[in-house]
Amino acid sequence: MSKPNIQAPNNPDAHPRGEFLPPSAQSSPSLDDPFCSAASYSAKQRFAPKDESAFSAVKGHNKRGVKAVHKYEVVNFSPDLSGNPVPSTVEGLAGKRFHFIGAGGIGMSGLAQLLMKNNAIVTGSDQAATAVTAKLAQSGADIKIGHSPSNLNSEMDAVVISAAIKPDNPELKLAQARGCKIYKYAQMLGELMNCYEGIAIAGTHGKSTTSGWLAYLLRQVGIDVNFVVGAEVSQLGSSSGVGDSQYFVAEACEYDRSFLNLRPKIACILNIEEDHLDYYKDEDEIVGAFTEFALGVKPDGVLIANGGDPNVAKIIMDSRSPLARGQVYPCESRGGNDSLVRCETFGLNANCNFYAQHLVLHDGLYAFDVYHNGELLGPTSISLPGRHNVANALAVVAMAVNMGVSGQQVLQRLSSFTGVDRRLMLKGQFVVRNTTITVLDDYAHHPTEIKASLEAIRQRYQPKRIWCIFQPHQYSRTRFLLDDFAESFKLADVIIVPEIYFVRDSQQSKKEVNAQMLVDRMRANGTDAVFIDDFGAICEYLQANVAAGDLVITMGAGDIWKVTDEYIRRLRGNS
């Protein structure tokens, strides 16, 4: 059997991990900076191949220098990055002042909480008052509503901005004029992760579910983990949390190559597929970015990879560099010393290190046996519907076991996790005029996710008909994947499509595609689809047509959940 291995990306235009040249608009950090060093990330920390030619293209590219992946400079905190267990607070952060522009975001608020846990002083602003901003204020942050230069204290050590902040933001412009150090969210996430034993979960699909599942499970077995998840986890009380352990679990987003700011001790790649084609040129470039992410695992760390995903296989199966599944190979560390990095795979195939067999459906939920390197760990079951969640569960098992948690502890608790917000979320089952109608809400916004969710719904609920209200997310994504979207709704009976949710798009992109075009393509494929733009009109259409035993689900990454809430309000009024 051939060994799976890892290679450097073949794309000569790809950015080698970590070599960020500071833009001319900003000065490099000074050596006497109290919380960061002058060194940028080194590109040396890689899985070292036996055949050095495997990295020749990247090395040659490094000598010429590369453009920054992000607009703002990436710098390092001074706390020890050795990977040794850290105390309950990180040395070097106490008393430092951080200002968060867009503090009400899920990830931003999580980082702010973590900084406050380490006795940093946090201020911030957001456009609207929310439960998130209220929680930050209750925790000790000074949060202003609205963006104004007066919100920015003159003594800031650093400013953190969310991805939604535009260049003309008044607080950002003032911070630049003052020469403040400015971090994007992903950069600050990377800096904080460097102070802990980081576990970063990447993939086109399943990041939030898997990250929340792992954080929940670790806390169940007594590890008070820090975490930042991209969705609310009701069983954890939030999308982020601060703990007293050295571990930090976080999602690793591939958009804008954000995940290249992270250097985790454990990295997980769930899957790789075409997406974010407004940023990436093609699938090969996406695979190249994930390769760079994999190359960023810290010395003595481990890469957990989906052994059944063809694009992940491109990273771990090449014969030119020696990262074989379950085996240990030398890795050149930041200081040039040999360290060890492992790769372990998970999947439904017995060739993987962690794999599931004997899958059985009980009331639409899977039970199965889990094996590790051919030996039975034990039986388990999950409470999340869908075969795709078996793969997510195996990733959780692999990461937890590689952290030192016993397999038995993991398998006993796996089924107690009930999911994250807006992922096949059961909103309720309502009796209206002696008929039962089931209502769900889901975040699926990619064709693969839509297929997986609809299949899971069929297995779990066995409805008479599925009414799917799908709000496409981004004009560019809809245009690039139009045919795939049109094919992805075969398991739904009726699809209602409002206009495409506008985010990160240009006005030109709005002229190239619209929701009616998608509906027409669906109808050409034999799918019953209708375009209704107004949310209220959608609810009226559902009230007039949904019958006993039917299931209604809203899908999309925008604000389509509002339809669910309004429809439920109307159902309760008619019950």
Give a three-class secondary structure readout of 69-98: CCCCCCCECCCCCCCCCCCCCCCCCCCCEE
pTM reported for the whole predicted model = 0.80
Domain co-membership, 323 together with 398: yes
Asked if the model's pLDDT at residue 383 lies above 60, the reply is yes
Task: Name the CA dihedral angle for 502, 227, 124, 185, rounded to a multiple of 10 degrees.
Answer: -50
The dihedral built from the CA positions of residue 388, 390, 394 and 399, taken in this order, carries a sign that is: positive
Please, which pLDDT band fits residue 65 given cuts at 50, 70 and 90? Answer: very low
* For residues 366-387, average pLDDT: 97
- 78 vs 519: CA distance, rounded Å: 54
Q: By C-alpha distance, which of 205, 156, 457, 459 is closest to 309?
A: 205
Is there a domain that residue 53 lies in?
A: no
Domain co-membership, 503 together with 518: yes
- Kindly report, residue by residue over 443-480, the tens digit of the pLDDT: 999 999 999 999 999 999 999 999 999 999 999 889 98
Is there a domain that residue 12 lies in?
A: no
Asked if the model's pLDDT at residue 492 lies above 60, the reply is yes
- 44 vs 476: CA distance, rounded Å: 36
- Kindly report, residue by residue over 250-261, the tens digit of the pLDDT: 999 998 899 999
Please, which pLDDT band fits residue 566 given cuts at 50, 70 and 90? Answer: very high
Domain co-membership, 108 together with 175: yes
Window from 39-48, 115-124, 528-537 with minimum mean pLDDT: 39-48
The residue written with tokens 């607080």 in the block is 171
pLDDT at 340: 60
Is there a domain that residue 42 lies in?
A: no
Domain co-membership, 391 together with 434: no
Domain co-membership, 499 together with 569: yes
Please, which pLDDT band fits residue 575 given cuts at 50, 70 and 90? Answer: low
Please, which pLDDT band fits residue 507 given cuts at 50, 70 and 90? Answer: confident
Q: Between these two residues, 355 and 67, which has the higher pLDDT value? A: 355
Helix (H) and strand (E) counts for the chain? 17, 23
What's the mean per-residue pLDDT of the chain?
82
* For residues 534-556, average pLDDT: 95
Domain co-membership, 439 together with 545: yes
Beta strand segments in 97-243, E: 97-101, 121-126, 142-145, 158-161, 182-184, 197-202, 226-233, 238-241
Q: What angle do CA 382, 214, 183 make, to 5 degrees?
A: 145
- Kindly report, residue by residue over 193-224, the tens digit of the pLDDT: 998 999 999 999 999 999 999 999 999 999 99
Window from 236-240, 327-331, 394-398 with minimum mean pLDDT: 327-331
pLDDT at 350: 94
Is there a domain that residue 79 lies in?
A: no
pLDDT at 58: 25
Read off the CATH number of the domain in which 466 is found: 3.90.190.20
Please, which pLDDT band fits residue 506 given cuts at 50, 70 and 90? Answer: confident
Read off the CATH number of the domain in which 175 is found: 3.40.50.720
Domain co-membership, 480 together with 403: no
Q: Which of 188, 203, 224 corresponds to the end of one domain? A: 188
Is there a domain that residue 412 lies in?
A: yes
* For residues 355-374, average pLDDT: 97
* For residues 92-109, average pLDDT: 92
Is there a domain that residue 27 lies in?
A: no
Dmax (CA) for the chain in angstroms is 73
What is the b/e burial string over 494-506, where b = at least 16 CB atoms within 10 angstroms of the residue's CB?
Answer: bbbbbbbbeebbe
Domain co-membership, 183 together with 207: no
Please, which pLDDT band fits residue 339 given cuts at 50, 70 and 90? Answer: low
Domain co-membership, 379 together with 458: no
The residue written with tokens 């069929």 in the block is 458
Domain co-membership, 330 together with 446: no
Is there a domain that residue 254 lies in?
A: yes
* E strand or H helix that includes residue 537: helix 535-545
* For residues 284-312, average pLDDT: 93
Read off the CATH number of the domain in which 394 is found: 3.40.1190.10
Q: Which of 358, 381, 416 corresponds to the end of one domain? A: 416
Overall domain count for the chain: 3
Please, which pLDDT band fits residue 319 given cuts at 50, 70 and 90? Answer: very low
Asked if the model's pLDDT at residue 520 lies above 60, the reply is yes
Please, which pLDDT band fits residue 433 given cuts at 50, 70 and 90? Answer: confident
Domain limits for position 147: 87-188
Q: Between these two residues, 299 and 101, which has the higher pLDDT value? A: 101
Window from 76-80, 130-134, 348-352 with minimum mean pLDDT: 76-80
Q: Between these two residues, 158 and 74, which has the higher pLDDT value? A: 158
pLDDT at 89: 66
- 45 vs 337: CA distance, rounded Å: 10
Domain co-membership, 201 together with 181: no
pLDDT at 76: 31
Domain co-membership, 449 together with 547: yes
Q: Which of 359, 392, 416 corresponds to the end of one domain? A: 416
Is there a domain that residue 540 lies in?
A: yes
* For residues 545-573, average pLDDT: 94
